[in-house]
Amino acid sequence: MALKIVKGSIDRMFDKNLQDLVRGIRNHKEEEAKYISTCIDEIKQELKQDNIAVKANAVCKLTYLQMLGYDVSWAAFNIVEVMSSSKFTYKRIGYLAASQCFHESTDVIMLTTNQIRKDLSSPNQYDTGVALTGLSCFVTPDLARDLANDIMTLMSHTKPYIRKKAVLIMYKVFLKYPESLRPAFPRLKEKLEDPDPGVQSAAVNVICELARRNPKNYLSLAPLFFKLMTSSTNNWVLIKIIKLFGALTPLEPRLGKKLIEPLTNLIHSTSAMSLLYECVNTVIAVLISLSSGMPNHSASIQLCVQKLRILIEDSDQNLKYLGLLAMSKILKTHPKSVQSHKDLILQCLDDKDESIRLRALDLLYGMVSKKNLMEIVKKLMLHVDKAEGTTYRDELLTKIIDICSQSNYQYITNFEWYISILVELTRLEGTRHGHLIASQMLDVAIRVKAIRGFAVAQMATLLDNAHLLTGNVQRKGICEVLYAAAWICGEFSEHLENPMQTLEAMLRPKVATLPGHIQAVYVQNAAKLFATVLKSGEGSADSTAAQEMMIERLPLFVQSANLEVQERASCILQLVKYIQKLQQKDVEIAEEVIALFAGELNPVAPKAQKKVPVPEGLDLDAWINEPPSESESEDEQPKAIFSKEEPKHSRPRHTEVDEKELAKRREARKQEQANNPFYIKASPSSQKVYQEAPGVEHIPVVQIDLTVPLKVPGLPMSDQYVKLEEERRQKDRADKKKKEKKKRKEKRSGRGKKHDSGPESEEDITPAHMVDIVTEEMPENALPSDDDDKDPNDPHKALDIDLDKPLADSEKLPVRSHRAAEVLKSPAEDGDAERSVSQEPKKKSSKEKKEKKKDKDRDRKKSKEEKKKKKHKHEDKGEDLLGGQEDEPVVQSEETSEVAAPPSSTTAEVSDLDFWLSNAPVPSNTQGAATVAAAAAADPVPEAASGAAPDSEPEEPKDTEAEETKSSKHKKKKQKKEKEEKEKKKKKKHHHHHRHSDAGGEESVQNGTVEEEEPLPPMSNYCLLAENSYIKMMLEDADQVNDIQGNLQDGSQVVVSVIFENKCESFLKSMEFNVLDSLNSKLQRPEGSGAHDGLTVPFQLPPGVSNEARFVFTMQSIVMPQKLKGTLTFIVKNEDSSTHEKLDFKLHFTCTSYLITTPCYSDAFAKLLESGDLKCSSVKLEGISMPFHHLLARICFHHHFSVVERIDSCASMYSRSIQGHHVCLLVKTSDQTVSIDAKCDEPTLLGNVLDEIKQTFSQC
């Protein structure tokens, strides 16, 4: 018995898993809803159980029900419970459910922050992965803010699986929490060069997505992407990059020029259609962006068009579609080349596939000319008749109107034809585009004066047959046309043949069923018509009849529910009654009535209102009255609203001014038109032509038979125009030929064969009548700016962030409090190695013990056991010194960089790009890049930089002297400090130049640390980098001491301090320091200065005085050495004269100068080596005779390394670059041969550093 109960309860809990549920639903097809509701009840029961497995099962079923459209948000809390299960199986179910049904307003999301954080840092990569995937679907601004830092850490995870997910999700984080973009961007950029292709592709994906929305901020990445494009073989990545370039080229046409060649190569070489297509697309974008032609410009266009033709002709409908799509982009700028494929495109219009027809329609837009417009439109009209779906038909309708009206009706030669087309279009059933047709009618009638007579006649017909348009419920949209018709008839009533009839049509009782705004226009224009009738014959039978009709019919409108109709009707009714009264007194009134509607309306440009400039001194946001106080009670609110609107009142004031001006201008124009013999006034002449023409009497244009329904049996009207037009043109042509013959007869020289019988050219077609197309009016001094119509609610707008500016201290991702300390300590908040470095010293001893056991296999530690203690003592010392002062240098250099050169990276950035775009040879692949780097590094490097090497030796003594004199002459506050430094420096110089320093190994190691200890890092390492060459060049009157030191805090900044010393007897002033920026590095200039402006040195130099200035450079990539050419200009002032002087110099940034001496514990070092992220490389130095400790000291000193451990003739060394690359060396020596094995996560950098080290020793 008990067992049965147990079974029952188990049954209840477990009767259904997901499969059972699905099966059940399939078995209950008739009563699915009922079945599901019982299932939901069961699920609710299951969710009440304590067992997590039961809950997970229930949540899994809910996910399925959610797909069927059931709201499952009530179970949100249970979903969170399942998410927090420790088992992967359940966690996955929970996260899946959450990703399907959580959204920003789900309140339980805020409970998940800690759970997600825990999962993100889980040791199991799939826990982390599942959390990332889930989070990507429901990240909220709060989650983004709280978790940004955790996710950023994951971007450097050891597993590529996690890295790529972390990289991708950053995009979502940026969207929700834009502040994170700048702090995270450097690392994101790093991931572009991740060894794992998946991670790389993810990074490309994210940056492309960011750049698509705000391309200008990413222009500076173009060189990097260019490199990727030429080196990557992953089509996905290539497609993304190529698409990105398509977005960037409009901003920088020069980029396009650079792209054309590789893209063309890709087009020729690739077999992947998707890639080919994107290449063609981007080439098109490039060609669009290039304003002026380039040599092989037309060749590229031809190539594109040719490839696209192949696509369009392909039997694969997809390719056909895409081909047409791309073709339409070419069309905008190179219509000629597309027009040659007209046959193909017209063929596509008949395709059975609607998508393809739509694309072909787009293309037609650009294919029309004066010659073929009628023919193409005729074809489209046929399609309109055939089209079954309303969407496609509406599309056709808008296209016809677009095609005809494009560029100010450029291609229309016969407006009567166009009007009849418009009238024909009104026959369309159920179109939504009535207003479009109406506005076209209005536009044409207003702007083409010659056509008014014809238009009015047609509109009168329309009005008369209004019942055809309004009869059907389906035709609601089209009755908009009546609005236009009524207005045209009223406004240009002087052209009406029979105004009485039209007036009658406008006042029919049935009009009252039309929408209010149309009725209002009817009433108003009835009044206009009345005025015309009155004028045509006061007192005549017509005018009396009209008067009676008005008085009789208007009361219908007075009763209208529509305010506008009612108001106008009663106003006009009273007016008519008053006129009647006056007429009974025999007063001539017609002129006065006409005066009511005098004047002509001009079309106003759609943006005219926006472009009215705000007059100077007018602040639209300023309060006119005292702003309402905050504490206003609620009943005062209406008042507040009123005063809010107050500022708007200032608008009418200046539009009034404009109106006056407009009136003035209108007057002037009238004058001008009256005096202009070429201005053709409206005349019905064209109609007469038709009347007289033989064989066209049946055209209903003139003899408007008012009983004829709109649909003319037989040919539609427009077709007749096509025929007519054809005839006319033939006649024209014949005339021309005659004329030409005459001409030829006249002068027999016979130069005019070119006009002969060839195909009709555009110019040959003369319009049927001269038309004056009135241009749209714009306010005077309209603002030229094209208002960008960006949607203010676009989430991507928040991401419009300048990424090139250096990070400010405040820009850090929020970190949980207990971690904050740690982050502060490690300047670049880096990977594992970094963390362990910044761990507290007290932990060290235990760690080292551990390490002892662990690292026995390492050969360099073979005999370390007894030496170790000693070493530790030493290291301790170094570390302690460091511990006290670690932060100081950072702060200092940051400070100075701000003082010396306020960052102005945007301009500098652009100029860097300039350089890349203008002349820098771009390596075609990474390997090429490496060789270039190697070549550069082959120059004599550290001490005697660049080509000045041979001269450098003899200069040295002088140099030291200069140093000595300097130290006595410095006058600034830091004098004392500098003295100390000078002394140290001297010591060092001796030490390495004369090579008989007896500094022992211990000491030399200290050398490295001593540097750290100095309060001014930029001064600390005067390694005579490029000093000699400067001196040589500056023999005249100045003296520069140069030192390059990376800025620890910002991964891309390098501070260069230069000491200027005046060595002559004259006063030096107006010194300007300028460097020609390179692709990679640029001088930071103050905001607002141009890319090539120099920096003013902030002091003047009296004779014999020296001073120091610092300049900040921003580096893109630090993996290669750099050489920058620069100039110092200054004025030398004597008592009587002053001369401009100039001094050229070369700044050499070696890769070494990007390294920062960073201490590293041996255990952290070992961990780093083990991590497997580092690339290996090695170098052998022959014939080195110096003692080993000496050798180490040199490496430490010149290349900013620190010794990690040293055992006999073997030592491990470590350094870090400013961008956080780890560089590890293992130096071994055995009689005269030194072998250096090196590891670094950046192979190029490593190669260059090794080359530089080699160079150092080859100098000895």
Q: Does 347 bind other proteins (CB under 8 A)?
A: no
Judged by CB, which is closer to other proteins: 163, or 860? Answer: 163
Question: C-beta of 428: minimal distance to other proteins in Å?
Answer: 20
Cβ of residue 7: shortest distance to other proteins, in angstroms? 5
Q: Shortest distance, CB of residue 318 to other proteins, whole angstroms? A: 5
Do residues 1168 and 1174 touch, judged by C-beta distance below 8 A? yes
The CB-of-19 to other proteins minimum distance in angstroms stands at 5
Residue 452 contacts residue 444 (beta carbons within 8 Å)? no
* Cβ at position 1122, least distance to other proteins in Å: 34
Q: Are 59 and 75 in contact (CB under 8 A)?
A: yes
Out of 9, 655, 730, 1232, the only residue in the binding site for other proteins (CB under 8 A) is 9
> Is the distance from CB of 84 to CB of 59 less than 8 angstroms?
no
State the binding string over 131-160 for other proteins (x if CB under 8 A, else -): -xx--xx-----------------------
Residue 12 to residues 16, 477, 891, 938, 1065: CA-CA distances in angstroms? Answer: 8, 59, 68, 80, 103
Among 33, 69, 295, 678, binds other proteins (CB under 8 A): 69
Label each residue of 114-153 as H, E or C: HHHHHHHCCCCHHHHHHHHHHHHHHCCHHHHHHHHHHHHH
Q: Spell out, one character per residue from 954 to 973, where the chain touches other proteins: x when CB under 8 A holds, - when not.
A: --------------------
Q: Which stretch binds other proteins (CB under 8 A): 85-93, 555-563, 1057-1065, 1179-1187?
A: 85-93
Verify binding: residue 33, other proteins, rule CB under 8 A: no
Amino acid at 61: K
Stretch that binds other proteins, among 92-100, 562-570, 1080-1088, 1187-1195 (CB under 8 A): 92-100
Instruction: Give me the least distance between CB of 272 and other proteins, in Å please.
Output: 8
Work out which of 123, 271, 291, 352 binds other proteins, going by CB under 8 A: 352
Q: Is 2 a binder of other proteins (CB under 8 A)?
A: yes
64 near other proteins, judged by CB under 8 A: yes
Q: What six digits make up the tokens of 682?
A: 């409206």
Verify binding: residue 609, other proteins, rule CB under 8 A.
no
Instruction: Retrieve residue 139's tokens.
Output: 């990240």
Instruction: Please identify, among the stretches 17-25, 363-371, 556-564, 809-817, the one whose residues bind other proteins according to the rule CB under 8 A.
Output: 17-25
Amino acid sitting at position 649: H
d(CA 310, CA 308): 5
Distance (Å, whole) CA 860 – CA 1211: 7
Residue 224 structure tokens: 């990097």
Scan residues 303-342 and list those touching other proteins (CB under 8 A): 317-318, 320-322
Which residues make beta-bridge pairs with 1146? 1125
1002 binds other proteins (CB under 8 A): no
x/- letters, 1164..1203, toward other proteins (CB under 8 A): ----------------------------------------
- Does position 24 interact with other proteins (CB under 8 A)? The reply is no
In the region spanning residues 690 to 709, those forming contacts with other proteins, defined by CB under 8 A, are none
Bridge partners (DSSP) listed for residue 1081: 1115
Q: CB-wise, 94 or 827, nearer to other proteins?
A: 94
**Nearest to 486, CA basis, from 557, 579, 430:** 557
Query: Any residues with CB less than 8 A from the CB of 1072 and at least 6 apart, and which?
Result: 1094, 1095, 1096, 1097, 1128, 1129, 1130
Report the residue number, 136 or 650, with the smaller CB distance to other proteins.
Answer: 136
Under the binding rule (CB under 8 A), the answer on residue 1073 touching other proteins is no
- CB under 8 Å to 494, separation ≥6 — which residues? 532
Residues 168-197 that bind other proteins (CB under 8 A): 168-169, 171-172
By C-alpha distance, which of 1083, 1088, 1094 is closest to 1142? 1094
Please check whether residue 227 is in contact with residue 929, taking contact to mean a CB–CB distance below 8 angstroms.
Answer: yes
Question: For residues 9 and 1232, which CB has a smaller minimum distance to other proteins in the complex?
Answer: 9
**In the bound complex, what is the minimum distance in angstroms from residue 60's beta carbon to other proteins?**
6
Residue 743 has a CB neighbour count (10 Å cut-off) of 11
Sites for other proteins among residues 227-266 (CB under 8 A) = 235-236, 239, 243
Closer Cβ to other proteins, 318 or 683, answer by number: 318
Question: 581-587 long-range contacts, Cβ below 8 Å, gap at least 24?
Answer: 583/538, 583/539, 583/547
Q: According to CB under 8 A, which one of 74, 88, 578, 623 is a site residue for other proteins?
A: 88
Q: Between residues 229 and 833, which has the closer beta carbon with respect to other proteins?
A: 229
Nearer to other proteins, 93 or 1071 (CB): 93
What are the tokens at 550?
């008005």
Which range in 3-11, 367-375, 898-906, 1092-1100 contacts other proteins by CB under 8 A? 3-11
**Per CB under 8 A, which region of 161-169, 338-346, 366-374, 800-808 contacts other proteins?**
161-169
Q: Which is nearer to other proteins, 353 or 632 (CB)?
A: 353
What is the nearest approach in angstroms of other proteins to the Cβ of residue 212? 5
Number of residues engaging other proteins in binding (CB under 8 A): 84
**Of 136 and 406, which has the nearer Cβ to other proteins?**
136
Distance CA 162, CA 341 (A): 50
Query: 201 to 220, contacts with other proteins by CB under 8 A?
Result: 201-202, 205-206, 208-209, 212
Of 43, 62, 76, 93, the residue at the interface with other proteins (CB under 8 A) is 93
What single string gives the DSSP state of each residue in 785-798? -------TT-GGGG
Q: Which residue has the tokens 């200065």?
A: 1089
In whole angstroms, what is the distance from residue 297 CA to residue 302 CA? 9
Q: Are 893 and 1113 in contact (CB under 8 A)?
A: no
Which is nearer to other proteins, 106 or 673 (by Cβ)? 106
Q: Pick between residue 22 and residue 935 the one whose CB is nearest to other proteins.
A: 22
Q: Which of 10, 622, 715, 891 is the binder for other proteins (CB under 8 A)?
A: 10
Considering only CA atoms, which of 275, 204, 283, 276 is closest in space to residue 249? 283
89-93: long-range pairs with CB below 8 Å, 24+:
89/56, 90/52, 90/53, 90/55, 90/56, 91/119, 91/127, 91/130, 92/130, 93/56, 93/59, 93/60, 93/63
Is 356 an interacting residue with respect to other proteins (CB under 8 A)? yes
Identify the three-state secondary structure at position 329: helix
Tell me which residues in 259-298 interact with other proteins (CB under 8 A): 273-274, 277-278
- The H-or-E segment that residue 897 falls in is helix 887-900
Question: How far apart are the C-alpha atoms of 1031 and 1041, rounded to whole Å?
Answer: 8
- Looking at 113, 122, 333, 355, which residue binds other proteins (CB under 8 A)? 355
365 lies in the site for other proteins, by CB under 8 A: no
Q: Binding residue for other proteins (CB under 8 A) from 38, 41, 68, 821?
A: 68
Least gap, CB of 66 to other proteins (angstroms): 7
Does 541 sit near other proteins (CB under 8 A)?
Answer: no
Residue 163 or 1221 having the CB closest to other proteins: 163
Q: In angstroms, what is the minimal distance from the CB of 144 to other proteins?
A: 12
For 192-221, b/e burial (b = at least 16 CB within 10 A) is bbbeeebbbbbbbbbbbbbbbbbbebbbbb
CB of 87 to other proteins, least distance (A): 5
Asked whether 1053 and 806 are in contact (CB, 8 A), the reply is yes
Instruction: Out of 31, 41, 353, 659, name the contact with other proteins by CB under 8 A.
Output: 353
Other Cβ atoms less than 10 A from the Cβ of 1197: the count is 21
Q: Name which of residues 115 to 134 contact other proteins (CB under 8 A).
A: 124, 126, 132-133
